[in-house]
Structure 1
Amino acid sequence: MIPRLLFEHEHEEFRSSVRRFLSEACMPFHEQWEEDRCVPREIWRRAGELGMLNATTPEIYGGMGLDRRFSMIASEEIAFANTTGLNGFSVHDICAGYFINFGTEAQKRQWLPKMASGEAIAAVAMTEPNTGSDLQAVKTRAVLDGDDYVINGAKTFISNGTNCDIIVVVARTGNTGKGSQDISLILVEADRPGLSKSKPLKKVGLHAQDTTMLFFEDVRVPRANVLGDVPGQGFIQLMRELAWERLAIAVSSISGAQAVLDHTIDYTRGRTVFGKPIIDFQNSRFKLADLKAEITVGQTYVDRCMELCLSHTLTSEAAAAAKLYCSELYSKVVDQCLQLHGGNGYMLEYPVARHYLDSRVTRIYGGANDIMRELVARTL
């Protein structure tokens, strides 16, 4: 098939280090993390030492100053290993992008070094109980009172919600009636009085990735906690970072699909029916061949999107198309590969069953695929 030409020697060395870390420090314990509904903070610190957290953060702020391909590799290897509790690393990385691109110098120096090391864990609070993909409809409000903003509202589906130390909160700060101009991103420390967290939410999958609700009751933060110290810029800031978020979902989706296909090829080679391996039946081979071809096409498109990301020319429409195609394909691959496993595919001891639980949400988070279709349709 088509070789990948995106990576250089230093990238592959990093991949080897990440793969070893996942194999030794994460995979043997992931089942317990699923029971706990949370990844231990020590794992975050070890990942920080390895450079898996915020690799693109400039060295002056405690990061490694590397390109996005390192973030891509971390996401790929997490997906290959199906250590989905570590998906929160990607959210953490997205939060770092908000600080790097829009934060004041003081905000960057206060949080980026601790985020890069894993000492501080970041979350972003967008979605509300009655507000999904329509960010302009958020109800959480921050009202200026002297030198403080007072925040009231609720957020849900917050990745890293249990562990987080700093939260990038989407809140309404204006009353112009022009939805996008009234929104700001406000930095809220998790130990602020009036901020509470729910117990981890019970999800269909991604059991080890801690996800909670957040409740704000008269939470006071300094007005200097507005990201960039300029209110009313939140919607623009969100839109500028959403392309990377959606590409990151495409990266993990296509890698997850490849992992499932690899597991299934191995399974069909070793499992016999009517006296011969499952893979020797034409129906099985043709299904696997179709999936391999589609994954190859998806991977090629994702790699091209990464090239555009590196040159700062990735459009929101291209990222939406990547997220749409790859997440839909991931679900398709999982469904067809589970069928080739027969009854064993429904048993959680087999990787395909765990992917079956974990893959479905990729078509929802980061913007539901119905919204992705709308974004792509605007280019018609």
Structure 2
Amino acid sequence: MEILQYTPEHHAFREQFRAYLAENVIPHIPQWEADHIVPPEVWRDLGRNGYLCTATPKEYGGHGMDFLYSVIITEEIGKTGFCGLTLGLHSDIVVPYIETFGTEEQKKKFLPGCVTGDTITSVAMTEPGTGSDLSSMSTTAVEDGDDIIIDGTKTFISNGINTNLCVVAARDPEVSNPYEAISLYLVEGDRPGFERGRHLDKMGFNSQDTSELFFSKCRIPKENLLGQKGGGFIILMQKLQQERLICAIGAVVAAEMMTERMIQYCKETTRNGKPLSKFQAIQFELVEMATEAKLGRAFLDKLIAEHVAGEQVVVEVSMAKYWTTDLAKRTIDRAISIVGEPAMAESLGLAQAMRDIRILPIFAGTNEVMKIVAARFMGL
């Protein structure tokens, strides 16, 4: 019995998107990985074909589809093994901030471009030395007449090079309570004082452009405030359920695909005249990998169904995010142990997969933070 009830339209969309990826994405992955960036025209082509912001309401140029379409897109990209095209960040994490908390004017101004791919979004929270602690944020936002002046530095910003619309978290230096001081602002990429820093060379996610962002007396109009002044922390917390769910989807798909790949590899690879899959020790490894992947899928699909139904599952999603990303990390580690020395060859792809997967326990709040969140809700 399937937990998620996909319609024929969902299945048709999955097949269409899978074919699109095969023709328009997969052949270009080696070049994008070498260049450490996906060209902006790829985003525009995705938008023209209806694969960005599928949930955005039609009145703002979107498609008004349900969350299962986002699940399909995240899963199908995950099945390619390519981590450089962060559609989930754009469509399911950043854009929903604008959809939920933006004014009518902001929605009409910004959302149509997000749907077409002419606008590539990012969210700038992380700062040098602050880690997951938003209360230590040093970037400031000061009112000056009808404008806001932003000063500060952000780092490890996904889509940082391509972005032309950034949701920036900054604090009012006159407010003492660090959580009440944080607000969110919409900063267009061509604003004076907004500069991109280094295009960071990092471990994994090679073609996903990650950079520093600098704000030096960056002046924006007051109407670019997103939501209520001082409400930034609450806005971020309200949207973390979907962000962490998207992360868990990617992690479960990674574990599933790696398990399938190892099963096939062990059937085709021989040692001492017989397939690896006939050795009991290998069988045990593969069975355990497959079992854990199925456990992760069952937990994930239940949470997706509850999220689609509008239920608050913050604690369960925090649990799922830490467990599934640890699962993905365990699975690739087991795969490398099974393959042995040949796994170190870049041509096999396991070394790259290990680098890509290792970041998942850090994304969307570290797994230690996930456990803290769960512990608090459990009254511990």
TM-score, normalisation: structure 1: 0.97
Kept after mapping to 1: 8 A contact 2:52/2:87:
no
1:57-89 CA distance string (max 9 Å, x none) = 001111110111111111111111012111254
Q: Which whole-Å CA distance do the structure 1 matches of 2:266 and 2:344 have between them?
A: 15
- Corresponding position of 2:202: 203
Does the 8 Å CA contact 1:147/1:223 hold for their aligned counterparts? Answer: yes
Query: Which amino acid in structure 2 is aligned with residue 190 of structure 1?
Result: G
Amino acid aligned to 1:341: V
How far did residue 3 of structure 1 move? Answer: 4.5
Please, which moves more after superposition, 85-94 or 327-336? 85-94
> What is the distance in 2 between the residues matched to 1:114 and 1:133?
30
Check the 8 A contact 1:327/1:362 in 2, yes or no: yes
Q: What CA distance in whole angstroms lies between the structure 1 residues aligned with 2:89 and 2:260? A: 24
The secondary structure found in structure 1 opposite 2:142 is strand
* Preserved CA contact (<8 Å) 1:254 1:327: yes
The one-character-per-residue Cα deviations of 1:147-179 (angstroms, maximum 9, x if unpaired) are 111110000111110100100000002533112
Query: How high is the TM-score relative to the length of structure 2?
Result: 0.97
In the alignment, the residues of structure 2 paired with residue 20 and residue 370 of structure 1 have an alpha-carbon distance, to the nearest angstrom, of: 38
Shift of 1:363: 0.4
Q: How many residues align?
A: 378
Question: Which residue is 1:264 aligned to?
Answer: 262
Amino acid across the alignment from 1:311: A
Aligned counterparts, 1:300-319, within 5 A: 300-319=298-317
SS at structure 1 position matched to 2:148:
strand
Asked if the contact 2:199/2:209 (under 8 Å) is kept, the reply is yes
Q: Any conservation in 1 of the 2:55–2:67 contact (CA below 8 Å)?
A: yes
Q: 2:362 aligns with which of 361, 364, 367?
A: 364
Matches within 5 A, 1:133-144: 133-144=132-143
Question: Equivalents in 1 of 2:377, 2:32: separation in Å?
Answer: 43
1:289 pairs with 2:294: no
Aligned to 1:165: 164
1:313-328 equivalences under 5 Å are 313-328=311-326
CA distance in 1, matches of 2:46, 2:240: 24
| 8 Å CA contact retained: 1:88, 1:159 | no
**1:350-361 alignment, distance < 5 Å:** 350-361=348-359
- 1:312 Cα shift? 1.4
**Alignment correspondent of 2:182:** 183
Fraction of identical pairs, as percent: 38
Name the CA distance, whole Å, in 2 between partners of 1:294 and 1:73: 21
Q: Is the 8 A contact 1:120 1:164 kept in 2?
A: yes
Match of 2:346, SS?
Answer: coil
> Aligned-pair distance for 1:276?
0.6
Runs of 4+ deviating beyond 3 Å = 2-6
How far did residue 331 of structure 1 move?
A: 0.2
Residue 337 and residue 4 in structure 1: after superposition, are their counterparts in 2 closer, same or farther (change >3 A)? farther
Paired AA for residue 35 in structure 1: A
Distance (Å, rounded) in 2 between the aligned partners of 1:58 and 1:223: 25
Contact 1:260 1:352 in 2 (8 A): no
What is residue 238 of structure 2 aligned with on the other side? 240
Equivalent residue, structure 1, for 2:115: 116
Tell me the SS of whatever aligns to 1:64. Answer: coil
**Change in CA separation of 1:79 and 1:211 when aligned onto 2, cut-off 3 Å:** same
Asked if the contact 1:156–1:214 (Cα under 8 Å) also holds between the matched residues in 2, the reply is yes
Contact preservation (8 Å) 1:305, 1:314: no
Could you tell me how far 1:211 is from its partner in structure 2? 0.3
- How big is the alpha-carbon RMSD for the aligned residues of Structure 1 and Structure 2? 1.3
Q: Distance in 2 between matches of 1:324 and 1:67?
A: 25
Secondary structure at the counterpart of residue 363 of structure 1: coil
Partners of 1:231 and 1:51 lie apart in 2 by: 34
Deviation at 1:365, TM superposition (A): 1.3
TM-superposed CA distance for 1:262, in Å, is 1.1
Q: CA deviation at 1:377?
A: 1.3
Q: Distance in 2 between the 1:311 and 1:167 partners?
A: 30
Give unmatched runs, 5+ long, in structure 2: none
Secondary structure at 1:179 match in 2:
coil
**2:328 alignment partner in structure 1:** 330
Amino acid at match of 1:59: K
